[in-house]
Structure 1
Amino acid sequence: MEKVLEVYNNIKDRLSNPFVFSFICSWLVYNWRIPVALIRYDKSQFSGCGCHTIFDFISFELAKTNSFLFPLFFAFVYSLGIPYVKNFFRIVSACAQKWGESEEIKALDGGKIGINKYLKLREEYKEAIKKLEDVDKEEKKYLTEKGKLLTDFNGVREELNQKIKENGDLRDSLARTFDSSILNGNWLYNSSGKLNQKIKINNSSYSVLDNNGFPTIVYEMKHFFIKSDYIFFVLFEEEPTFRDNPMSIIHNLRRNNDDSLVGMLNGEEISLRRVSEVNFK
Protein backbone atom coordinates (compact mmCIF):
# COMPACT_ATOMS: atom_id res chain seq x y z
CA MET A 1 0.00 0.00 0.00
CA GLU A 2 2.84 2.36 0.81
CA LYS A 3 4.43 1.66 -2.58
CA VAL A 4 1.17 2.49 -4.33
CA LEU A 5 0.88 5.77 -2.40
CA GLU A 6 4.48 6.62 -3.20
CA VAL A 7 3.90 6.01 -6.92
CA TYR A 8 0.70 8.06 -6.76
CA ASN A 9 2.47 10.97 -5.05
CA ASN A 10 5.27 10.89 -7.63
CA ILE A 11 2.76 10.98 -10.48
CA LYS A 12 0.89 13.79 -8.77
CA ASP A 13 4.10 15.80 -8.35
CA ARG A 14 4.97 15.31 -12.01
CA LEU A 15 1.54 16.35 -13.23
CA SER A 16 1.45 19.37 -10.93
CA ASN A 17 4.56 20.68 -12.65
CA PRO A 18 3.42 23.55 -14.94
CA PHE A 19 5.69 22.46 -17.79
CA VAL A 20 4.55 18.80 -17.74
CA PHE A 21 0.90 19.75 -17.49
CA SER A 22 1.15 22.30 -20.30
CA PHE A 23 3.01 19.77 -22.47
CA ILE A 24 0.27 17.17 -21.98
CA CYS A 25 -2.44 19.70 -22.82
CA SER A 26 -0.51 20.91 -25.89
CA TRP A 27 0.07 17.35 -27.09
CA LEU A 28 -3.62 16.43 -26.71
CA VAL A 29 -4.68 19.55 -28.62
CA TYR A 30 -2.10 19.21 -31.38
CA ASN A 31 -2.68 15.44 -31.79
CA TRP A 32 -6.43 15.64 -31.25
CA ARG A 33 -7.17 12.78 -33.65
CA ILE A 34 -5.60 10.20 -31.34
CA PRO A 35 -7.77 10.96 -28.23
CA VAL A 36 -10.86 11.26 -30.46
CA ALA A 37 -10.11 7.89 -32.05
CA LEU A 38 -9.64 6.33 -28.61
CA ILE A 39 -12.97 7.72 -27.43
CA ARG A 40 -14.96 6.96 -30.61
CA TYR A 41 -13.54 3.87 -32.23
CA ASP A 42 -14.74 3.53 -35.89
CA LYS A 43 -13.04 0.89 -38.08
CA SER A 44 -14.46 2.32 -41.33
CA GLN A 45 -12.68 5.63 -40.74
CA PHE A 46 -9.41 3.81 -40.04
CA SER A 47 -9.80 1.91 -43.32
CA GLY A 48 -10.19 5.21 -45.18
CA CYS A 49 -6.75 6.24 -43.89
CA GLY A 50 -5.26 2.92 -44.95
CA CYS A 51 -5.10 1.60 -41.36
CA HIS A 52 -6.46 -1.80 -40.33
CA THR A 53 -6.50 -1.28 -36.53
CA ILE A 54 -6.50 1.59 -34.07
CA PHE A 55 -2.89 0.87 -33.25
CA ASP A 56 -1.98 1.35 -36.90
CA PHE A 57 -3.84 4.68 -36.80
CA ILE A 58 -2.00 5.84 -33.65
CA SER A 59 1.36 4.84 -35.15
CA PHE A 60 0.42 6.68 -38.34
CA GLU A 61 -0.41 9.89 -36.43
CA LEU A 62 2.68 9.74 -34.22
CA ALA A 63 4.88 9.24 -37.26
CA LYS A 64 3.89 12.67 -38.55
CA THR A 65 6.46 15.42 -38.34
CA ASN A 66 6.39 17.64 -35.23
CA SER A 67 3.88 15.51 -33.31
CA PHE A 68 6.06 16.03 -30.21
CA LEU A 69 8.14 19.05 -31.22
CA PHE A 70 5.27 21.54 -31.47
CA PRO A 71 3.64 20.52 -28.14
CA LEU A 72 7.06 20.75 -26.49
CA PHE A 73 7.59 24.23 -27.95
CA PHE A 74 4.12 25.41 -26.86
CA ALA A 75 4.64 24.02 -23.35
CA PHE A 76 7.96 25.85 -23.06
CA VAL A 77 6.47 29.14 -24.27
CA TYR A 78 3.44 28.75 -22.01
CA SER A 79 5.49 27.95 -18.89
CA LEU A 80 7.77 30.94 -19.37
CA GLY A 81 5.27 33.40 -20.76
CA ILE A 82 2.19 32.85 -18.59
CA PRO A 83 3.63 34.76 -15.54
CA TYR A 84 4.28 37.78 -17.76
CA VAL A 85 0.83 37.51 -19.26
CA LYS A 86 -0.80 37.33 -15.82
CA ASN A 87 1.15 40.33 -14.56
CA PHE A 88 0.31 42.25 -17.72
CA PHE A 89 -3.42 41.70 -17.27
CA ARG A 90 -3.12 42.51 -13.55
CA ILE A 91 -1.43 45.82 -14.38
CA VAL A 92 -4.04 46.59 -17.02
CA SER A 93 -6.82 45.81 -14.52
CA ALA A 94 -5.26 48.04 -11.84
CA CYS A 95 -4.83 50.91 -14.31
CA ALA A 96 -8.42 50.50 -15.46
CA GLN A 97 -9.69 50.50 -11.87
CA LYS A 98 -7.65 53.59 -11.04
CA TRP A 99 -8.88 55.35 -14.16
CA GLY A 100 -12.47 54.39 -13.33
CA GLU A 101 -12.22 55.77 -9.79
CA SER A 102 -10.66 58.98 -11.06
CA GLU A 103 -13.37 59.45 -13.67
CA GLU A 104 -16.05 58.62 -11.10
CA ILE A 105 -14.76 61.34 -8.78
CA LYS A 106 -14.74 63.81 -11.66
CA ALA A 107 -18.26 62.82 -12.65
CA LEU A 108 -19.53 63.17 -9.08
CA ASP A 109 -17.93 66.59 -8.59
CA GLY A 110 -20.75 68.83 -7.40
CA GLY A 111 -23.27 66.00 -7.66
CA LYS A 112 -24.61 63.23 -5.49
CA ILE A 113 -22.90 60.00 -4.50
CA GLY A 114 -24.34 56.54 -4.07
CA ILE A 115 -25.74 55.39 -0.74
CA ASN A 116 -23.16 52.60 -0.40
CA LYS A 117 -20.27 54.92 -0.94
CA TYR A 118 -21.83 57.46 1.42
CA LEU A 119 -22.17 54.83 4.15
CA LYS A 120 -18.58 53.72 3.59
CA LEU A 121 -17.31 57.29 3.81
CA ARG A 122 -19.39 57.89 6.93
CA GLU A 123 -17.92 54.81 8.64
CA GLU A 124 -14.42 55.95 7.72
CA TYR A 125 -15.23 59.39 9.12
CA LYS A 126 -16.52 57.87 12.37
CA GLU A 127 -13.38 55.76 12.71
CA ALA A 128 -11.20 58.82 12.11
CA ILE A 129 -13.17 60.80 14.74
CA LYS A 130 -12.81 57.92 17.23
CA LYS A 131 -9.06 57.74 16.64
CA LEU A 132 -8.84 61.51 17.11
CA GLU A 133 -10.79 61.27 20.38
CA ASP A 134 -8.48 58.50 21.60
CA VAL A 135 -5.45 60.63 20.77
CA ASP A 136 -7.05 63.59 22.58
CA LYS A 137 -7.70 61.43 25.67
CA GLU A 138 -4.13 60.17 25.67
CA GLU A 139 -2.86 63.73 25.34
CA LYS A 140 -5.02 64.92 28.25
CA LYS A 141 -3.85 61.98 30.34
CA TYR A 142 -0.24 62.81 29.50
CA LEU A 143 -0.75 66.50 30.33
CA THR A 144 -2.40 65.58 33.65
CA GLU A 145 0.48 63.30 34.59
CA LYS A 146 2.94 65.96 33.48
CA GLY A 147 1.20 68.58 35.66
CA LYS A 148 1.19 66.22 38.64
CA LEU A 149 4.88 65.44 38.20
CA LEU A 150 5.65 69.15 37.84
CA THR A 151 3.71 69.91 41.03
CA ASP A 152 5.54 67.15 42.89
CA PHE A 153 8.84 68.40 41.52
CA ASN A 154 8.13 71.97 42.63
CA GLY A 155 7.12 70.69 46.07
CA VAL A 156 10.32 68.69 46.40
CA ARG A 157 12.37 71.65 45.17
CA GLU A 158 10.74 74.00 47.69
CA GLU A 159 11.30 71.47 50.45
CA LEU A 160 14.93 71.10 49.38
CA ASN A 161 15.41 74.88 49.33
CA GLN A 162 13.85 75.08 52.80
CA LYS A 163 16.19 72.37 54.07
CA ILE A 164 19.16 74.16 52.51
CA LYS A 165 18.09 77.41 54.20
CA GLU A 166 17.60 75.65 57.54
CA ASN A 167 20.97 73.97 57.15
CA GLY A 168 22.59 77.32 56.40
CA ASP A 169 20.90 78.93 59.39
CA LEU A 170 21.97 76.04 61.59
CA ARG A 171 25.52 76.27 60.28
CA ASP A 172 25.60 80.02 60.91
CA SER A 173 24.13 79.54 64.37
CA LEU A 174 26.64 76.82 65.12
CA ALA A 175 29.46 79.03 63.88
CA ARG A 176 28.27 81.86 66.12
CA THR A 177 28.03 79.45 69.04
CA PHE A 178 31.78 78.83 68.94
CA ASP A 179 32.85 82.24 67.57
CA SER A 180 34.83 84.07 70.23
CA SER A 181 35.29 87.13 68.00
CA ILE A 182 32.01 88.44 69.41
CA LEU A 183 34.07 89.53 72.44
CA ASN A 184 36.80 91.28 70.44
CA GLY A 185 37.66 94.70 71.85
CA ASN A 186 38.86 96.54 74.94
CA TRP A 187 37.35 95.62 78.30
CA LEU A 188 37.59 96.86 81.88
CA TYR A 189 37.70 94.00 84.35
CA ASN A 190 36.24 94.44 87.87
CA SER A 191 36.20 92.06 90.80
CA SER A 192 36.38 92.27 94.57
CA GLY A 193 40.16 92.63 94.40
CA LYS A 194 40.64 94.41 91.09
CA LEU A 195 39.07 97.53 89.64
CA ASN A 196 39.17 98.61 86.02
CA GLN A 197 41.86 96.17 85.01
CA LYS A 198 42.51 96.53 81.31
CA ILE A 199 41.75 93.50 79.16
CA LYS A 200 42.19 93.20 75.41
CA ILE A 201 40.48 90.34 73.55
CA ASN A 202 41.35 89.50 69.96
CA ASN A 203 39.72 86.29 68.77
CA SER A 204 41.22 83.56 70.97
CA SER A 205 43.86 85.85 72.55
CA TYR A 206 43.04 87.27 76.01
CA SER A 207 45.65 89.80 77.20
CA VAL A 208 45.93 91.49 80.62
CA LEU A 209 47.49 94.94 80.11
CA ASP A 210 49.40 97.26 82.42
CA ASN A 211 48.71 100.97 82.73
CA ASN A 212 50.86 101.66 79.68
CA GLY A 213 48.88 99.23 77.54
CA PHE A 214 51.51 96.50 77.38
CA PRO A 215 50.46 92.89 77.98
CA THR A 216 51.59 91.43 81.27
CA ILE A 217 49.91 88.07 80.88
CA VAL A 218 48.55 86.52 77.68
CA TYR A 219 45.99 83.76 77.83
CA GLU A 220 44.63 81.51 75.11
CA MET A 221 40.86 81.33 75.08
CA LYS A 222 39.57 77.77 74.61
CA HIS A 223 36.31 75.84 74.85
CA PHE A 224 34.37 78.97 73.97
CA PHE A 225 30.62 78.47 73.91
CA ILE A 226 27.77 80.96 73.69
CA LYS A 227 24.07 80.28 73.91
CA SER A 228 21.56 83.05 74.14
CA ASP A 229 23.00 85.43 76.80
CA TYR A 230 25.26 82.88 78.49
CA ILE A 231 28.98 82.70 77.68
CA PHE A 232 31.49 80.12 78.79
CA PHE A 233 35.22 79.86 78.09
CA VAL A 234 38.47 78.76 79.74
CA LEU A 235 41.73 80.74 79.74
CA PHE A 236 45.12 79.03 79.55
CA GLU A 237 48.42 80.86 79.93
CA GLU A 238 50.28 80.81 76.64
CA GLU A 239 53.77 81.06 78.27
CA PRO A 240 53.65 80.04 81.95
CA THR A 241 56.82 81.15 83.75
CA PHE A 242 56.54 80.13 87.38
CA ARG A 243 54.39 77.00 87.12
CA ASP A 244 55.01 73.67 85.54
CA ASN A 245 51.33 73.33 84.62
CA PRO A 246 49.55 76.28 83.02
CA MET A 247 46.79 77.82 85.10
CA SER A 248 43.26 77.57 83.76
CA ILE A 249 40.68 80.24 84.49
CA ILE A 250 37.06 79.30 83.99
CA HIS A 251 34.66 82.05 82.97
CA ASN A 252 30.94 81.54 83.31
CA LEU A 253 29.32 84.80 82.26
CA ARG A 254 26.01 86.34 81.32
CA ARG A 255 25.47 89.24 78.93
CA ASN A 256 23.53 92.23 80.16
CA ASN A 257 24.05 93.66 76.68
CA ASP A 258 26.71 93.51 73.98
CA ASP A 259 29.10 95.66 76.04
CA SER A 260 28.46 94.35 79.56
CA LEU A 261 29.20 90.93 81.05
CA VAL A 262 28.69 89.66 84.61
CA GLY A 263 29.29 86.27 86.12
CA MET A 264 31.78 84.04 87.87
CA LEU A 265 35.51 83.50 87.42
CA ASN A 266 36.64 80.38 89.28
CA GLY A 267 33.84 81.01 91.78
CA GLU A 268 34.49 84.76 92.16
CA GLU A 269 31.97 87.34 91.00
CA ILE A 270 33.30 89.59 88.24
CA SER A 271 32.09 92.06 85.65
CA LEU A 272 33.45 93.14 82.28
CA ARG A 273 32.57 96.33 80.44
CA ARG A 274 33.58 97.03 76.87
CA VAL A 275 34.96 100.51 76.28
CA SER A 276 36.16 102.48 73.30
CA GLU A 277 39.82 103.00 72.46
CA VAL A 278 39.69 106.59 73.79
CA ASN A 279 38.30 105.60 77.18
CA PHE A 280 40.67 102.67 77.32
CA LYS A 281 43.81 104.83 77.45
Structure 2
Amino acid sequence: MELPDSVKDVYDEIKDRLTSPFFGSFFIAWLIINWYIPISLIFYDQKELHNDNFRSFREVINSQLDLCRNVIWPLLCAFGYVLISPAIKAAINIYQTQVAVFSDNKITEILKKKSGIAAELKIKDELINLKSEQNSLAQSQIKELNSKLDSQDQEIPRLQSEVDRLQIDVNKLVDQNDINNKINELTTFVGVWIVNFSNSEGPIEETWDISLDGSVHVNNRRNYMIHRIIGHDNNVWLNLGAQGHFNTGYKSHFVFFLTRSNSNTVVWQGVDLLGETVMFQKNVYVLKPVGDNQ
Protein backbone atom coordinates (compact mmCIF):
# COMPACT_ATOMS: atom_id res chain seq x y z
CA MET A 1 0.00 0.00 0.00
CA GLU A 2 1.44 3.29 -1.06
CA LEU A 3 1.26 6.31 1.24
CA PRO A 4 -0.35 9.53 0.01
CA ASP A 5 2.03 12.18 -1.24
CA SER A 6 1.22 14.53 1.65
CA VAL A 7 1.96 11.85 4.23
CA LYS A 8 5.13 10.89 2.34
CA ASP A 9 6.28 14.50 2.32
CA VAL A 10 5.72 14.77 6.07
CA TYR A 11 7.64 11.51 6.58
CA ASP A 12 10.53 12.74 4.49
CA GLU A 13 10.59 16.05 6.36
CA ILE A 14 10.64 14.28 9.73
CA LYS A 15 13.37 11.97 8.46
CA ASP A 16 15.46 14.94 7.31
CA ARG A 17 14.97 16.64 10.65
CA LEU A 18 15.93 13.57 12.61
CA THR A 19 19.01 12.95 10.49
CA SER A 20 20.14 16.58 10.58
CA PRO A 21 23.35 17.32 12.50
CA PHE A 22 21.62 19.82 14.79
CA PHE A 23 18.86 17.43 15.94
CA GLY A 24 21.29 14.57 16.36
CA SER A 25 23.69 16.67 18.38
CA PHE A 26 20.79 18.04 20.51
CA PHE A 27 19.48 14.53 21.17
CA ILE A 28 22.89 13.20 22.14
CA ALA A 29 23.60 16.23 24.35
CA TRP A 30 20.18 15.88 26.04
CA LEU A 31 20.76 12.17 26.74
CA ILE A 32 24.16 12.91 28.23
CA ILE A 33 23.00 15.85 30.38
CA ASN A 34 19.75 14.18 31.50
CA TRP A 35 21.15 10.68 31.75
CA TYR A 36 19.20 9.82 34.92
CA ILE A 37 15.85 9.88 33.14
CA PRO A 38 16.65 7.31 30.38
CA ILE A 39 18.57 5.11 32.81
CA SER A 40 15.60 5.02 35.18
CA LEU A 41 13.13 4.36 32.39
CA ILE A 42 15.19 1.55 30.90
CA PHE A 43 16.79 -0.23 33.86
CA TYR A 44 14.66 0.57 36.97
CA ASP A 45 11.66 -1.45 38.14
CA GLN A 46 8.97 -0.58 40.70
CA LYS A 47 10.90 -1.93 43.65
CA GLU A 48 14.00 0.09 42.77
CA LEU A 49 11.80 3.16 42.30
CA HIS A 50 10.32 2.64 45.77
CA ASN A 51 13.81 2.24 47.21
CA ASP A 52 14.66 5.66 45.74
CA ASN A 53 11.40 7.11 47.23
CA PHE A 54 9.65 7.36 43.85
CA ARG A 55 6.16 6.02 43.38
CA SER A 56 6.23 6.12 39.57
CA PHE A 57 8.38 6.98 36.61
CA ARG A 58 6.49 10.28 36.32
CA GLU A 59 7.88 11.37 39.64
CA VAL A 60 11.35 10.48 38.40
CA ILE A 61 10.82 12.65 35.32
CA ASN A 62 9.31 15.48 37.31
CA SER A 63 12.23 15.42 39.70
CA GLN A 64 14.57 15.95 36.77
CA LEU A 65 12.68 18.76 35.09
CA ASP A 66 14.92 21.80 34.75
CA LEU A 67 14.94 24.39 31.99
CA CYS A 68 18.69 24.65 31.82
CA ARG A 69 19.37 20.95 31.89
CA ASN A 70 16.46 19.93 29.73
CA VAL A 71 16.57 22.68 27.09
CA ILE A 72 19.25 25.34 27.30
CA TRP A 73 22.33 23.20 27.76
CA PRO A 74 21.39 20.68 25.07
CA LEU A 75 20.59 23.56 22.67
CA LEU A 76 23.93 25.22 23.37
CA CYS A 77 25.73 21.92 22.81
CA ALA A 78 23.82 21.39 19.55
CA PHE A 79 24.62 24.90 18.31
CA GLY A 80 28.23 24.53 19.39
CA TYR A 81 28.56 21.22 17.60
CA VAL A 82 26.92 22.57 14.44
CA LEU A 83 29.21 25.61 14.47
CA ILE A 84 32.41 23.91 15.55
CA SER A 85 32.05 20.56 13.79
CA PRO A 86 32.91 21.95 10.29
CA ALA A 87 36.10 23.45 11.67
CA ILE A 88 36.86 20.21 13.48
CA LYS A 89 36.13 18.22 10.31
CA ALA A 90 38.28 20.63 8.27
CA ALA A 91 41.10 20.30 10.78
CA ILE A 92 40.70 16.53 10.69
CA ASN A 93 40.71 16.58 6.89
CA ILE A 94 43.79 18.81 6.87
CA TYR A 95 45.50 16.53 9.34
CA GLN A 96 44.52 13.45 7.35
CA THR A 97 45.70 15.14 4.15
CA GLN A 98 49.03 16.06 5.73
CA VAL A 99 49.39 12.55 7.08
CA ALA A 100 48.53 11.16 3.66
CA VAL A 101 51.01 13.50 1.94
CA PHE A 102 53.69 12.66 4.50
CA SER A 103 52.95 8.98 4.08
CA ASP A 104 53.05 9.32 0.30
CA ASN A 105 56.38 11.19 0.50
CA LYS A 106 57.81 8.58 2.81
CA ILE A 107 56.54 5.81 0.61
CA THR A 108 57.94 7.57 -2.47
CA GLU A 109 61.28 8.09 -0.73
CA ILE A 110 61.36 4.47 0.36
CA LEU A 111 60.44 3.34 -3.14
CA LYS A 112 63.16 5.57 -4.60
CA LYS A 113 65.66 4.16 -2.15
CA LYS A 114 64.50 0.67 -2.94
CA SER A 115 64.67 1.35 -6.67
CA GLY A 116 68.11 2.96 -6.22
CA ILE A 117 69.29 0.01 -4.17
CA ALA A 118 67.83 -2.37 -6.74
CA ALA A 119 69.54 -0.48 -9.57
CA GLU A 120 72.81 -0.44 -7.62
CA LEU A 121 72.53 -4.16 -6.93
CA LYS A 122 71.78 -4.75 -10.60
CA ILE A 123 74.85 -2.72 -11.61
CA LYS A 124 76.97 -4.65 -9.11
CA ASP A 125 75.68 -7.93 -10.50
CA GLU A 126 76.45 -6.75 -14.04
CA LEU A 127 79.96 -5.69 -12.95
CA ILE A 128 80.51 -9.05 -11.27
CA ASN A 129 79.33 -10.86 -14.41
CA LEU A 130 81.53 -8.61 -16.59
CA LYS A 131 84.57 -9.26 -14.38
CA SER A 132 83.83 -12.97 -14.49
CA GLU A 133 83.62 -12.88 -18.29
CA GLN A 134 86.84 -10.85 -18.49
CA ASN A 135 88.61 -13.30 -16.17
CA SER A 136 87.37 -16.23 -18.25
CA LEU A 137 88.52 -14.53 -21.45
CA ALA A 138 91.89 -13.68 -19.90
CA GLN A 139 92.34 -17.27 -18.70
CA SER A 140 91.44 -18.53 -22.17
CA GLN A 141 93.93 -16.15 -23.80
CA ILE A 142 96.61 -17.12 -21.27
CA LYS A 143 96.05 -20.80 -22.02
CA GLU A 144 96.21 -20.09 -25.76
CA LEU A 145 99.43 -18.08 -25.37
CA ASN A 146 100.96 -20.80 -23.17
CA SER A 147 100.02 -23.37 -25.79
CA LYS A 148 101.66 -21.24 -28.51
CA LEU A 149 104.75 -20.77 -26.33
CA ASP A 150 104.95 -24.52 -25.74
CA SER A 151 104.65 -25.19 -29.46
CA GLN A 152 107.29 -22.52 -30.17
CA ASP A 153 109.56 -24.00 -27.50
CA GLN A 154 109.20 -27.32 -29.30
CA GLU A 155 109.76 -25.64 -32.66
CA ILE A 156 112.97 -23.84 -31.60
CA PRO A 157 115.09 -27.03 -31.18
CA ARG A 158 113.83 -28.31 -34.53
CA LEU A 159 114.68 -25.01 -36.23
CA GLN A 160 118.06 -24.93 -34.48
CA SER A 161 118.73 -28.45 -35.67
CA GLU A 162 117.73 -27.40 -39.18
CA VAL A 163 120.02 -24.36 -38.96
CA ASP A 164 122.89 -26.55 -37.78
CA ARG A 165 122.27 -28.96 -40.63
CA LEU A 166 122.17 -26.11 -43.14
CA GLN A 167 125.36 -24.66 -41.65
CA ILE A 168 127.05 -28.02 -42.08
CA ASP A 169 125.84 -28.12 -45.68
CA VAL A 170 127.12 -24.57 -46.23
CA ASN A 171 130.48 -25.46 -44.72
CA LYS A 172 130.64 -28.49 -46.97
CA LEU A 173 129.81 -26.33 -49.97
CA VAL A 174 132.44 -23.77 -48.94
CA ASP A 175 135.03 -26.50 -48.53
CA GLN A 176 134.05 -28.01 -51.84
CA ASN A 177 134.18 -24.58 -53.45
CA ASP A 178 137.66 -24.04 -52.02
CA ILE A 179 138.67 -27.41 -53.39
CA ASN A 180 137.13 -26.57 -56.75
CA ASN A 181 138.89 -23.20 -56.81
CA LYS A 182 142.17 -24.87 -55.95
CA ILE A 183 141.59 -27.48 -58.61
CA ASN A 184 140.71 -24.76 -61.13
CA GLU A 185 143.90 -22.88 -60.29
CA LEU A 186 145.97 -26.04 -60.45
CA THR A 187 144.42 -26.94 -63.78
CA THR A 188 146.71 -24.37 -65.39
CA PHE A 189 149.76 -26.15 -64.01
CA VAL A 190 148.70 -29.79 -64.36
CA GLY A 191 150.76 -31.62 -66.93
CA VAL A 192 154.41 -32.18 -67.96
CA TRP A 193 156.57 -29.05 -68.18
CA ILE A 194 160.04 -28.58 -69.67
CA VAL A 195 161.89 -26.28 -67.28
CA ASN A 196 165.12 -24.58 -68.44
CA PHE A 197 167.27 -22.48 -66.14
CA SER A 198 170.94 -21.82 -65.41
CA ASN A 199 172.95 -21.99 -62.24
CA SER A 200 176.63 -22.11 -61.31
CA GLU A 201 176.93 -25.47 -63.02
CA GLY A 202 175.56 -24.15 -66.30
CA PRO A 203 172.28 -24.62 -68.23
CA ILE A 204 169.92 -27.21 -66.75
CA GLU A 205 166.78 -28.74 -68.23
CA GLU A 206 164.31 -30.58 -65.99
CA THR A 207 161.00 -32.26 -66.50
CA TRP A 208 158.34 -31.20 -63.99
CA ASP A 209 155.22 -33.37 -63.76
CA ILE A 210 152.57 -31.40 -61.83
CA SER A 211 149.57 -33.39 -60.59
CA LEU A 212 146.11 -32.18 -59.69
CA ASP A 213 146.80 -32.67 -55.97
CA GLY A 214 149.61 -30.08 -56.19
CA SER A 215 152.51 -32.52 -56.10
CA VAL A 216 155.48 -31.84 -58.40
CA HIS A 217 157.76 -34.66 -59.59
CA VAL A 218 161.07 -33.39 -60.91
CA ASN A 219 162.87 -35.85 -63.25
CA ASN A 220 160.97 -38.58 -61.44
CA ARG A 221 163.34 -38.31 -58.49
CA ARG A 222 162.59 -35.14 -56.56
CA ASN A 223 159.18 -34.24 -55.19
CA TYR A 224 157.77 -30.83 -54.26
CA MET A 225 154.33 -29.58 -53.25
CA ILE A 226 152.66 -26.46 -54.60
CA HIS A 227 151.61 -24.62 -51.43
CA ARG A 228 150.20 -21.45 -52.91
CA ILE A 229 149.34 -20.02 -56.31
CA ILE A 230 148.98 -16.33 -57.07
CA GLY A 231 147.45 -15.41 -60.39
CA HIS A 232 144.66 -16.94 -62.44
CA ASP A 233 144.78 -19.35 -65.34
CA ASN A 234 142.41 -17.11 -67.29
CA ASN A 235 145.17 -14.53 -67.48
CA VAL A 236 147.44 -17.15 -68.99
CA TRP A 237 145.05 -18.23 -71.71
CA LEU A 238 143.97 -14.69 -72.56
CA ASN A 239 147.58 -13.46 -72.68
CA LEU A 240 146.88 -10.52 -70.37
CA GLY A 241 150.46 -10.47 -69.22
CA ALA A 242 149.63 -11.04 -65.56
CA GLN A 243 152.41 -11.79 -63.11
CA GLY A 244 152.14 -14.56 -60.54
CA HIS A 245 154.10 -17.09 -58.56
CA PHE A 246 153.76 -20.38 -56.80
CA ASN A 247 155.68 -21.86 -53.91
CA THR A 248 157.26 -25.19 -54.85
CA GLY A 249 160.03 -25.46 -52.30
CA TYR A 250 162.49 -24.95 -55.19
CA LYS A 251 165.57 -23.07 -54.08
CA SER A 252 164.15 -19.86 -52.61
CA HIS A 253 160.68 -21.40 -52.87
CA PHE A 254 159.38 -18.61 -55.13
CA VAL A 255 159.34 -18.52 -58.90
CA PHE A 256 157.95 -15.51 -60.82
CA PHE A 257 156.48 -15.85 -64.28
CA LEU A 258 155.75 -13.39 -67.05
CA THR A 259 153.28 -15.25 -69.26
CA ARG A 260 152.78 -15.48 -72.98
CA SER A 261 150.93 -18.00 -75.13
CA ASN A 262 150.05 -19.05 -78.64
CA SER A 263 147.49 -21.52 -79.92
CA ASN A 264 149.50 -24.66 -79.13
CA THR A 265 152.21 -23.79 -76.66
CA VAL A 266 152.25 -22.11 -73.25
CA VAL A 267 155.53 -20.52 -72.26
CA TRP A 268 156.18 -19.04 -68.81
CA GLN A 269 159.37 -17.14 -68.37
CA GLY A 270 160.54 -15.50 -65.19
CA VAL A 271 163.31 -14.88 -62.70
CA ASP A 272 163.61 -16.55 -59.33
CA LEU A 273 164.75 -14.78 -56.19
CA LEU A 274 168.36 -15.86 -56.81
CA GLY A 275 168.36 -14.02 -60.13
CA GLU A 276 168.28 -17.14 -62.28
CA THR A 277 166.24 -17.09 -65.50
CA VAL A 278 163.61 -19.83 -65.60
CA MET A 279 161.66 -20.96 -68.67
CA PHE A 280 158.54 -23.16 -68.40
CA GLN A 281 157.05 -24.60 -71.58
CA LYS A 282 154.14 -27.00 -72.15
CA ASN A 283 152.43 -28.16 -75.30
CA VAL A 284 148.64 -27.74 -75.25
CA TYR A 285 145.75 -28.49 -77.57
CA VAL A 286 143.40 -25.53 -77.62
CA LEU A 287 143.32 -24.63 -73.92
CA LYS A 288 143.70 -28.02 -72.25
CA PRO A 289 147.04 -29.53 -71.11
CA VAL A 290 147.60 -32.92 -72.74
CA GLY A 291 151.05 -33.98 -71.44
CA ASP A 292 154.30 -34.59 -73.32
CA ASN A 293 152.84 -36.66 -76.14
CA GLN A 294 150.20 -34.16 -77.27
TM-score of the superposed pair, with normalisation by structure 1: 0.36
Greater Rg by CA = 2
TM-score between both structures, scaled by the size of structure 2: 0.35
